[in-house]
Amino acid sequence: MAVVGNKRSVMTMYSAEDCSYCHCARFVLAEKGIAHDIVNVDPEMLPEDLIDLNPYNSVPTLVDRDLVLYHSRVIVEYLDERFPHPPLLPVDPVSRARFRLLMHRVDKDWYALMDDIQTKGEKKAAKARKMLRESLMSTIPVFEAKPFFMSDELSLVDCVIAPLLWRLPKLGIELSNEAMSIKRYADKIYQRESFQTSLTETEREMRES
The end-to-end CA distance of the chain, in Å, is: 41
Q: Is 19 a catalytic residue?
A: yes
CA 29/CA 32 separation, integer angstroms: 5
Among 103, 170, 111, 157, which residue's Cα sits nearest to residue 136? 111
CA 30/CA 28 separation, integer angstroms: 5
In the chain, at which residue ranges do the beta strands (DSSP E only) sit?
11-15, 36-40, 61-64, 67-70
User: Which is the catalytic residue, given 19, 22, 24, 159?
Assistant: 19
CA 149/CA 140 separation, integer angstroms: 10
* Residues with a known catalytic role: 19
